[in-house]
Structure 1
Amino acid sequence: MAASREGQGHDKHCCVPFCTGNGRLNPELSFHRLPKAPENRKAWIQAIRRDPGPLFTISEQTVVCSRNFKSSDIKWTPVRTTLKPGSVPSVFPWKADFNIRRQIEKHPIAEKRQKHEINVHVDDISNRPEEMDSTASVSYDDGSALDDMQRSMERIEDLECLLQKKDEEIKNLKQKMEIERFGVQRFSNDDSMIQFYTGFGSMAMFSAFFEYVKPTATCMNSYYYKSCDKPNQQITVGKQRNMLLIDELFIFLCRLKCGLMAQDLAVRFNCHVSTVSRKIITWANFLYFILGSINIWCSKEQIKEKIPPSFKLSYPSTRVIIDCTEIKTERPSSLALGSKCYSTYKSSHTWKGLVGIAPHGALSFVSSSYTGCMSDVEVTKLSGLIDLLEEGDSIMADKGFVLNKVLENTSISINTPPFLSSQG
C-alpha cells in the first residue's frame, strides 16, 4: 500500500470532495497516494465518491490527506507517517462527525483591576436613627406639587398601557406576515400542501429529514458562504445570508417536485433569479453526497421476509426489478457530446439511468447518469448492478434487456414476464 508523508512546502491537495487539505497551508497533515492493488484502489475510490473519468484522473499526484482517516488507521514512526495495511478513508466532510482541527492561538490576558473594598458599618447607621429620619423626611406642605405628581403618574400609566397595546399589534402583524409569506411556515399546519410541494407525507416527516441533514448542511460550502464549525456561527464571503436554511431546502424540493421555474421561485421568495439557481445547485451537490452514502441495497434476508405471495409463488429468486429511465436535458454546445446525448427512443437529448426496486416495492438501486445514446444492456453492465447480486439470484426486466451474454458465466438468471400480444 502506497502511504507516504509529504513534508512541509509540498503543495499537495487532497482529492476528497469538500476537503481543503493542502500540504503548504497544513504542514501538520500527511498525504497518502492511492494504493496500487486493484481491489484496495477500488475500495478507496468508492469511499471518496470520485469516479475516474475526464474530470478526475488518478496519477502519482493524487493523494488523500490524513483528515479522512481514523487515528487508528495511521502509524506514526520517527522517519515518516504511514498507513496500516488495509486502511480505507472513512472520515469525510459530508458526515456529521467530521471536525476540522483548528490551531490553538494564545491571546494576551489583560491585567486584572484591583477591587476596592467597601465596608459598610451597620452599627454606625443603626446608632444614628434621628439623623436618618431628619434627612429622609420631605415636607409636602404644598398641595399643588402633590396634584402634579399624581397627574404625571396617571399619564405614565396611560402611556405604558398604550405602548403595550402597540407591541401586541406589532407582534400580531409580524405573525400574519410570516403566515402569508410563501415558505414552510405558511404550510406547516397543512400536510396536503407539504406533500404537494415537497413530496413528504407530512410536516413531521419533512422536519425529521431537515433535522437529519441540518448538522452538516450548516457546514456546507456554497458560492456565497463558507462552512462554519458551529451551527449558529456564519462566516460570509459576500453578503449576509437572508434566508433560513429550511427555506433553502424548501426551494430545492419545490423545484424538484413541482418543477417550478427559477423566475417563479425568485418572485415567491423575494430574491434574485441567480440566488435561486445557486441555492438549487448547492443543495443538489450536497444531498448527492449525503444521501448517496446511505446503503439502500436489500439483503437476501430482507427480500425473503417481505416478498409478496405472487412473487414467492412464480419468481421466488427475484432479487431486483430493473428498468431504465431517461431525463431530458438541453442540447449541449459540443457537437460530439450532443450526438452522444441524443436518444432515438425519446427523439431528444437525454441522460439515462438504471433504477431497481425490490419485489416488495422498496427502491434498492439507483445508478449514475449516462448519455442517452447508450443501450439498456450497456447501462446495466456499467452500473455495477451485477457485482451486487449473489449466486442463485435472478433479475426481472422487460424484453428490452437482453442480458444472456452478460450473465453467461455467472449463476444469475433473468426473468422476463409474459406480455399480452395486441389484438385487433
Structure 2
Amino acid sequence: MAESKNRSFCCVPGCSCCNQKQPYLSFHSFPSDQATRNLWIRAVRREEGPNFSVRKGNTFICSRHFAKEDYFGGTTISRLKSGVVPSLFPWNNFTAPLKRESVFERVNKRQLVPSQADDNSAASKAIKMDHDYVTHPPAGALDEALGYIEDLEARLKRVDLPSPTLFSRYCASDDQIRFYTKFPSEGLFRIFWESIAPSASRLVYWTKAKRIGDEACPEPSPPRIMPLIDEFLMYSFRVAVGMKEQLIADMFNVSIATVSRVTITWANYLFIVLSSVKIWIKREKVKLSMPPKFQKYCPNVRVILDCTEIALENASSLTLQSETFSNYKNRTTLKGLIGVAPCGLITFISPLYTGCISDKEITKICGILPILEPGDDVMADKGFLIEDLLAEVGAKMIIPPFKHSAQFSKEETAKTQAIARLRIIVERAIARVKSFHIWDSPVPLTLIGSVNQMWLNCCVLSNYQGPFCLEE
C-alpha cells in the first residue's frame, strides 16, 4: 500500500484523478496480502479479467476514496493503516456507508410502556416484536403521501416546458450549423437570429398575405404549426442545402404545400430585411480595407465587377425560351451582376435578368453607374466593354497592360500578376454565393417569383462567412 511517486491514475470507475492534475492527492497501490486485495477489488466494484488486472506499480487508488480514520495521524498525507479498505466512492456520494444494525440490536430496541397488569409496579414491560419491517406506518401517512404526489403532478402540469425543436437536433455544433445554414459558427448565427426574431415573430404566411391584398378586412393570421426557428431551418434546407420539397415535408411531417408556403414567406421576409442593409462601401473604407499588396498597382479600385449565370428550367413557351437562352452556357439561364470590394466583401447585387442579355446592358441598367464617383477605378473582365459607360460618370476601367513589345518589363509583369490576383476575388465571392445548393440544379419555374429574393439573400448572407485569405 505504498504511495506512488510516478505518473499514476486512479482505477476507481467514475474517477479521473491523476497525480499530475491533482498533486495534492496521494495514490496507493493494492496491498500484497491477497485477502485484503480481494476486499479492495470488491470495494471498487471491479473484477480481474481481460479488461482489468491489478499490477504492481501500475494500479492505484487515490486518497479521495479513503476516510481520514484510515490514515495514521488522521491526515491523507500520512501512511495508510494496515488492513483498511477504501469506502468513499461516487456511488455513495463520497460518504462513509452507514453501518446497519444487526437483527439482535433492532429487536432489542423495545418500546417501554407501563404495565397494565400491575399498577403498583414501577417496572416496565417490553413489547416484543418479531421483526421491525412488519411495523405498519402511522395512521394517515399514506393519505399524506398521496396528496403530496398529486400536488407535484399538478405543479408539473403548470410548468411551461419548451418543446424540443428540430433546429436543436440538426444544428448542435458549428459544423452542422455551417452545413445547414452556411453561417460559420453558432455564435454568429445567434447574433443574426436575435436581430431578426422580434420582427419574424409577426410574419404572415404567403397565402395569407395574398389574401390580405384581395380582401378589405383580413382575418388574423392562423397560429403557427411549428417553432419560428424551425421555419428558418426549413428555408435553409431548401436554399442552403438544396433539398427537394418532398424530402423536407417528410422530415418535418408537413405537406409539400406547407414547405412551399414557408419557403416563399421567408424568402420575401429576408429580402425585405437584408435589402435594407447598406452594403455599398465608401471610398475611404475601401482603401483602408484594401490588401497592401494591391495598393501599389490598383490604389483607386472601388469595385470589381463580374456577371454570373444560374440554370433555369426550360419553359414551354418558345418566346420565353428564346429570351432566357444563353449562348455562353448553351441553355436557358438567369444572369446577374455582382460587385466585390478588394477586401472580398460583396458590395453590389443586381437583380437577375434573362440569359440573353449582354454584360454591358446589365451594367447599364442594373444601377451600378449612379453610385460610382469621379476618380473611381472599376476592374472587370475583358468581356466587359464598358469604358464609355464609366467615362460618363468619371470612372475608369482597370485592365492588364497590353503586350507592345517582345516581352513585358518586370514592372508590367508584376502589375499583370497583381491585377490577376485581385480579379480572382470576385470569382471566389461568386463561388460562395453558389455554395448555396439551391443553385446546383436548374431553378424550377414555380420559384420564378421568388428567385430574385433568394439570390439577394444568398449574396448578403455569404458576407457573414468572413474575409478571404488574400495571402500569396
TM-score range, shorter-chain basis?
0.5 to 0.7
How far 1:206 moved relative to its partner?
1.7
Q: Deviations over 1:89-123 (max 9, x none)?
A: xxxxxxxxxxxxxxxxxxxxxxxxxxxxxxxxxxx
**Residue aligned with 2:308, SS:** strand
Q: Which amino acid aligns with 1:282?
A: T
The answer to whether 1:157 aligns with 2:140 is no
Q: Which residue of 2 aligns with 1:332?
A: 315
Match in the other structure for 1:342: 325
Cα distance in 2 for partners of 1:204, 1:236 equals 38
| Per-residue deviation, 1:264 | 1.1
TM-score (structure 2 length as normaliser): 0.50
Deviations 1:336-376 (A, max 9, x none): 22211111212221111101110011111101111111111
Deviation track 1:307-359 (CA, whole Å, cap 9, x = no partner) reads 11122011111100111111212222332222111112122211111011100
Q: Cα deviation per residue 1:292-315 (whole Å; 9 max; x = unaligned)? A: 111100101101111111220111
**Partner AA of 1:389 in structure 2:** L
Q: Give secondary structure in 1 for the equivalent of 2:333.
A: strand
Q: Contact 1:226–1:237 at 8 Å: present in 2 too?
A: no
Residues 204 and 221 in structure 2, CA contact (< 8 A), matched pair in contact too: no
| Deviations 1:31-90 (CA, angstroms, capped at 9, x unpaired) | xxxxxxxxxxxxxxxxxxxxxxxxxxxxxxxxxxxxxxxxxxxxxxxxxxxxxxxxxxxx
Q: After superposition, what is the alpha-carbon deviation per residue over 1:133-170, rounded to whole angstroms, capped at 9, x for unaligned?
A: xxxxxxxxxxxxxx9994543254167459969999xx
* Partner residue in 1 for 2:371: 388
Output the CA distance in 1 between the equivalents of 2:380 and 2:255: 45
Q: Counterpart of 1:240 in structure 2: which amino acid?
A: P
Gapped regions of structure 1 (runs ≥ 5): 1-146, 228-234
Report the CA distance between 1:392 and its aligned residue: 0.9
TM-superposed CA distance for 1:386, in Å, is 1.3
Give the Cα–Cα distance (whole angstroms) in 2 for the partners of residues 157 and 224 of structure 1.
54
Shift of 1:415: 1.3
Contact 1:220 1:226 in 2 (8 A): no
The answer to whether the Cα contact below 8 Å between 1:350 and 1:371 also exists between their aligned partners in 2 is yes
**What's 1:351 paired with?**
334
Q: Deviations over 1:227-284 (max 9, x none)?
A: 9xxxxxxx97675321111111111122211111111111111111110011101111
CA contact 2:360–2:385 (8 Å) conserved in 1: yes
Would you say 1:277 and 2:260 are equivalent positions?
yes
Q: Which residue of 2 aligns with 1:321?
A: 304
**What is the match of residue 79 of structure 1?**
none
Q: Aligned residue for 2:233?
A: 250
CA contact (8 A) 2:372 2:393 kept: no
Unpaired stretches in structure 2, ≥5 consecutive residues: 1-134, 211-217, 401-415, 421-472
Q: Work out which of the residue numbers 198, 203, 228 in structure 2 matches 1:220.
A: 203
Q: CA RMSD in A?
A: 3.3
Q: Which of 340, 344, 347 is the matching residue for 1:364?
A: 347
CA distance change for structure 1 residues 188 and 160 in 2, over 3 Å: closer, same or farther?
Answer: farther
SS in 2 for 1:280: helix
Deviation at 1:410, TM superposition (A): 4.0
- Please state if 1:265 is matched with 2:253: no
Say which of 277, 296, 301 aligns to 2:279. Answer: 296
Equivalent-residue separation in structure 1 for 2:389 and 2:209 (angstroms): 47
Partners of 1:216 and 1:167 in 2: how far apart? 33
For the 8 Å contact 1:184–1:247, the answer to whether it is kept is yes
CA distance in 1, matches of 2:372, 2:272: 24
Distance across 2 between alignment mates of 1:400 and 1:153: 91
Instruction: Give the percent of matched residue pairs that are identical in Structure 1 and Structure 2.
Output: 36
Match of 2:409 in 1: none
State TM-score, norm by structure 1: 0.55
CA contact (8 A) 1:224 1:239 kept: no
Compared with structure 1, are the counterparts of its residues 150 and 262 closer, same or farther at alpha carbon in structure 2 (3 Å cutoff)?
Answer: same
Aligned counterpart, 2:382:
399
SS at match of 2:192: helix
Q: Does 1:186 align with 2:186?
A: no
**SS where residue 388 of structure 2 aligns?**
coil
Inter-CA distance 239–404: structure 2 relative to 1 (3 Å threshold): closer
Distance 1:167 1:203, change over 3 A: farther
Q: Which amino acid aligns with 2:370?
A: D
Q: From the superposition, tell whether residues 220 and 348 of structure 1 become closer, same or farther in structure 2 (CA, over 3 Å).
A: same
Q: Are the counterparts in 2 of residues 224 and 237 from structure 1 also a CA contact under 8 Å?
A: no
Query: Which residue does the alignment assign to 2:11?
Result: none
